[in-house]
Structure 1
Amino acid sequence: MARQQLPPQIKTRDVVDRRTGKPVRRYVVTVDVAPPGEPRKQVKKRFTTEREARSFLATTQAEVARGTYVAASSTTVRQAVQDWLDTRQLKPTTLQSYTVVLQALVDENGDTQVQKLSEADVVRMLRRLRSGKSPGRKKWTARSCNLLLTLTKAVLESEKRQGRVVRNVAADIRPMERDARTAKTLTHEQMLTVLDHECRDRHLWTLALHGLRRGEIAGLRWENVDLDARTITIAETRVAVGKEVLTSTPKSKQSRRTLPLPQDVVDVLKAARRAQRAERLKAGSMYQGGEHLACDEFGKPYHPDKLSRDWREMIKALGVDRVRLHDARHTCGTLMHLRGVPITVIAAWLGHSSAAFTMATYTHSQDDALAAAGVTLTARVSEQM
């Protein structure tokens, strides 16, 4: 039987084997891999047998025809993550947050080549994080794991668009079921206990119960408070990301908002303003800053985490059941809802872009006590919202 002629993409080359010193034949494959309409691109590879050369040529041409061909790449997961972060146009706080979350992917699979990363690798990583078996890390919540999964999918999708992987191996991984957790809200009596509590930071807890985020409270400056017009403008946030405190603009267009204040809130803010001015006089040259509503006796802005710690200590001292500072925001949304405030208005007050998100996340009807709060909410909080 006549020997089958080699295709033009395969050339033979006679060389001397370095180990034996004898002449041997090698097969060099040169194949076009650029999609139609794009500049020419070729891949060249050498084989010891004709069979291997023909197999590589056929497989490569078929992948090019299907649009699934990717050239061999040594890009690692660590490099892919860094490339993705470097090309994102994100707020500094969001970028830092994503960097912290994706560090788990880098720590687990950073040295793995992206082309060798498997779906099983990603699933195992998520399971270890969820179970608390990832070295050096506490047990992650399902929410945190799902955020990491979302970001991992985004990184791999970027690699796919750039032609470095055939498919996104994380694309079909389903998010973990969220922890069954209902946000706690203060009862009507508990809310009044906090609002009436005379303390240095009473104005901060009042703002929290009127729906401001922790970062918004930490970032609020006196220049954005108009006590005559009875308004506050949310124009800046201070948030803790890792060990850093980052100052930025609000998280969305809807989060930047101007809110009318009830008179009792204005009175609390006026008292806080007078107290801070007195502290400035007392501290003299030691006083630095004082632009923020949330600051110490010497004008230094609070670390956002301090707000959470002081809130916990305050409600414990008042004998109130443990409720997170962020749950004060839930309380605001819930009481507005139970008082019949339209959900679109509640969303605008809280700074949400989606009324559906507000309804699903920030309004609750938990028990008889909360239902009663909707009926008996005092005029100073509800009627002027």
Structure 2
Amino acid sequence: MTTPRDTPASRRVRANGDGTVYQRKDSRWEAAGYVLAPGNTRRRVRVYGTTRKEALAKLTEKIAASNRGLPVPSAQGSVAAYLTYWLENVAVHHLRENTHTRYTTCVHRYLIPGLGKKKLTKLTAKDVRTWLNQLRTTCQCCTRRIDAQRDQPRCCAAGQCCHKLLSPLTLTYIHSVLKSALEHAVREEEIPRNVARNVRTGTPRPRRFEPLTTNEARQLLAATRGHRLHALFELALHTGLRKGELLGLRWEDLDLDAGTAAIRRTLQRTSAGGLTTLPTKTRASERRIALPSRCLHSLKLYSEQQQREREAAGTTWQHDGHVFTTVQGRPIDPTNLTRAFTTLLRKAGLRRIRFHDLRHSTATLLLEQGVELVVIKELLGHAHIGVTATVYAHVRLRLQRDAIDTLGTALVGRETTETARSDGDEPPPCTALVR
């Protein structure tokens, strides 16, 4: 009588659900079994190996993943095909137009040329890491032929590589776009896991900015006096509102009697719709803020000025309720506001900064005045206080240094006083008992 131990390995009977393993005519081993598929269905899969043990190990791995509730991948196309599908059918419905445009540029400029030919189901963390390392050290001027498109080449096309490398911030952004796309592939059960999440690119240093000092802020406000948009620049420097939030303000959002403003929308220029009013950047950005008395006074004067402009424009006036408009009542283009801001900086004799740096200047000046971080977080409309603490960490370190220096001065002063007293005729104080 034969026992299972005496049966040859190739003919050994396997239990139900374990699949089958047999040797093919080409000497390879094939293992087949049923696993979980998308839609809560079952599907028969086949794996191959040079030995019976190798084929059986591959099948066992798939069956174990199926038993954990992970369906077998269904995607058969390339990474490029899925990224194109994701942009056109998924991301376009969840992202703002400008963000979708940036994602599209990132996909077609970096992701598809680097990883597009690989199969989606066979993409590994090693592939992503190798590609990112190569991208980190590749000259973009040579790769994208930037210099060759100039009328007179002066670097890479002329044989002198300029080594135009991507910044760590750009590399992190490219990596995040890939993670977002693969995360949706996991949700659609196209792949079992997001391999891009297993790759660490490191935390890039935040972009350095140089906010205005107190004296520079005074110079700017002095230069804006008499300017048509003095109320806008004053409001920006006192409240830290974003450029789009300022231009998206409507008179119905302001309560000049109570001295408050409701931030509900933002104004942006998009390639398809032109100047478009959109909801705020995040849910936390939709907020109500208090307005300083100086800003209330300036807004009232600006309202009277706008009424005079309306009467002068007559039938050409096109007003839709925005607070800050052109002379004809139309919304102000963000680019035109930036030009006016740059002109004011030149007039005031100040260094050139971005308009967004007014927001950083507001937060920095408030921190230096001792305002609590949670108050600044609510004023700026940050989603989490950690964002505020991270962005303005350099200010907090400077305040810590000032506090430590103040303490050191106090301790040195006390030590000097005690020394002066001991030099007199008074007896020294009794030594305290040390326990």
Q: Same fold (TM over 0.5)?
A: yes
Equivalent in 348, 361, 370 of residue 331 of structure 1: 361
2:79 corresponds to which residue?
77
Would the alpha carbon gap of residues 116 and 27 (structure 1) be closer, same or farther in structure 2, given more than 3 Å must change? Answer: closer
The 3 A distance-change label for structure 1 pair 12 and 190 is closer
For residue 3 of structure 1, report the CA deviation from its aligned partner. 10
**Shift in Å, 1:205:** 0.9
Q: Corresponding residue for 1:64?
A: 62
Residue segments in structure 2 that go unaligned for 5+ positions in a row: 1-7, 14-18, 147-163, 403-435
Q: Displacement, 1:63?
A: 2.5
Aligned-partner SS, 1:229: coil
Q: Which string of whole-angstrom CA distances, capped at 9 and with x for unpartnered residues, describes residues 200-259 of structure 1?
A: 111121121021011111211122122222221111112346675542221233311222
- The aligned amino acid for 1:231 is T
The aligned amino acid for 1:314 is L
Cα gap change, 1:141/1:273 in structure 2, threshold over 3 Å: closer, same or farther? farther
Structure 2 distance, partners of 1:150, 1:276, is: 45
The count of residues paired between Structure 1 and Structure 2 equals 354
% same residue: 26
Spell out the pairing of 1:154-173 with structure 2 (5 A cutoff): 154-165=180-191, 167-173=193-199
Correspondence for 1:357:
387
Partner of residue 313, structure 2:
283
The alpha-carbon deviation at position 333 of structure 1 amounts to: 0.9
Does the CA-based 8 Å contact 2:22-2:30 persist in structure 1?
yes
Which residue of the other structure, out of 244, 248, 252, is the alignment partner of 1:215?
A: 244
Which residue type is aligned with residue 157 of structure 1? E
Q: Deviations over 1:73-122 (max 9, x none)?
A: 333334433555544697652x6415523532344343423234422464
Quickly say closer, same or farther: Cα 1:215–1:144, change in 2 above 3 A.
Answer: farther
* Residue ranges of structure 1 left out of the alignment (5+ in a row): 15-23, 372-385
- 1:189-228 → structure 2 map (5 Å cutoff): 189-196=215-222, 197=224, 198-210=226-238, 211-228=240-257
Query: What CA deviation, in whole Å up to 9, does each residue of 1:149-179 have, x standing for no partner?
Result: 1231232233345443454332232235534
1:1-385, aligned counterparts within 5 Å?
4-5=10-11, 9=20, 30-34=32-36, 39-43=41-45, 57-67=55-65, 70-71=72-73, 73-82=75-84, 84=86, 86-87=89-90, 92-93=95-96, 96-110=98-112, 111-112=116-117, 113-117=119-123, 118-120=127-129, 122-124=131-133, 126-127=135-136, 135=144, 140-165=166-191, 167-179=193-205, 181-196=207-222, 197=224, 198-210=226-238, 211-240=240-269, 245-362=275-392, 365=395
Larger RCO: 1 or 2 (CA < 8 Å, sep 6+): 1
Q: CA deviation at 1:131?
A: 5.6
Q: Hey, what's the Cα distance between the residues in 2 that align with 1:332 and 1:353?
A: 18
Q: Shift of residue 43 of structure 1?
A: 3.1
**3-state SS of 1:31 partner:** strand
Judged with a 3 Å threshold, the aligned counterparts in structure 2 of structure 1 residues 309 and 364 are, in CA distance, closer, same or farther, namely: farther
Contact 1:153 1:168 (8 Å CA) reproduced: yes
State the match for 1:381 in structure 2: none
**Quick one: distance in 1 between partners of 2:271 and 2:338?**
15
In the superposition, relative to structure 1, how do residues 362 and 280 fare at CA in structure 2: closer, same or farther (>3 Å)?
Answer: farther
| Structure 1 pair 134–239 and aligned structure 2 pair: CA distance change class (3 A) | farther
Task: Give the CA RMSD over aligned residues.
Answer: 4.0
Give yes or no for contact 1:97–1:241 (8 Å, CA) kept in 2: no
Preserved contact between residue 11 and residue 29 of structure 1 (Cα < 8 Å): yes
Report the residue type matching 2:170 in the other structure: S
2: CA distance between counterparts of 1:343 and 1:353?
Answer: 13
Letter in structure 2 aligned against 1:337: L
The alignment partner of 2:241 has SS state of coil
User: Which residue does the alignment assign to 2:149?
Assistant: none
* Cα distance change of structure 1 residues 328 and 60 upon mapping to structure 2, 3 Å threshold: same
Once the two structures are superposed, what CA deviation does each residue of 1:253-307 show, in whole Å capped at 9, x if it has no partner?
A: 3311222212211121122222222222222222212522332111221222332
Distance (Å, rounded) in 1 between the aligned partners of 2:376 and 2:257: 24
Measured in 2, the distance between the counterparts of 1:125 and 1:277 equals: 60
Structure 1: distance between partners of 2:350 and 2:130: 45
The one-letter code matched in structure 2 to 1:123 is: L
Which deviates more from structure 2 when the two are superposed, residues 249-258 or residues 63-72? 63-72
Given residue 60 of structure 2, which amino acid in structure 1 is its aligned partner? A
CA–CA distance in structure 2, aligned partners of residues 139 and 242 of structure 1: 28
Q: Give the number of the structure whose alpha-carbon radius of gyration is greater.
A: 2
Choose 144-153 or 127-136, whichever is displaced more: 127-136
Secondary structure of the equivalent of 1:206?
helix
- From the superposition, tell whether residues 6 and 163 of structure 1 become closer, same or farther in structure 2 (CA, over 3 Å): farther
How far apart, CA to CA, are the structure 2 residues paired with 1:130 and 1:305?
A: 31
Q: Supply the distance in 2 between the matched residues of 1:108 and 1:30 (Cα, whole angstroms).
A: 38
